[in-house]
Structure 1
Amino acid sequence: MRSYYHKQLLVRLLLFFAGVFCYAARQEWLEPGNEAWQGRIFRLLLWAGVFLDILKKFFPSGRLSLGAQKLFAGRYRAADCSAQRLKDSKRRADGYALFVAAVWIGFNLIFFVLYRQGIIGVPELILLTLFYFLSDMICVLYFCPFRLMMHTRCCTTCRIFNWDSMMMCTPLLFIGGIYGWSLAAFAMAVLIHWETLYSRFPERFFECSNESLRCGNCEGNLCRGRLKRRDYSADRNS
Structure 2
Amino acid sequence: MCQFRKRKEEPKMNFLELHDDCLDNILLHFGFDEILPLFNELHTRFDEAIERQLHRFRDLQFSMRHPPPFHEGFMLLLGRHLNSLHITVGYSTSDKDFLRYLNPLCQGASESLRLRALKLDHAKWSPDIVNAVCKVARSLLFLDMRHCDVRDYQITRLLESTDKMEALALLHVHNQTGDSYLQHNVLNRVPALKLIHITILGILPFSPEELSQQCPHLSFLISDLINREFKIYGPPAYLQDYYKYYHEYFKTP
Which TM-score bucket, shorter chain as reference? under 0.3
Which is bigger in relative contact order (C-alpha 8 A, separation at least 6)?
1
TM-score (norm 2): 0.22
Q: Whose Rg is larger?
A: 2
> Hey, which of these two has a bigger chunk of helix by percent?
1
TM-score (norm 1): 0.23
> Hey, which of these two has a bigger chunk of strand by percent?
2
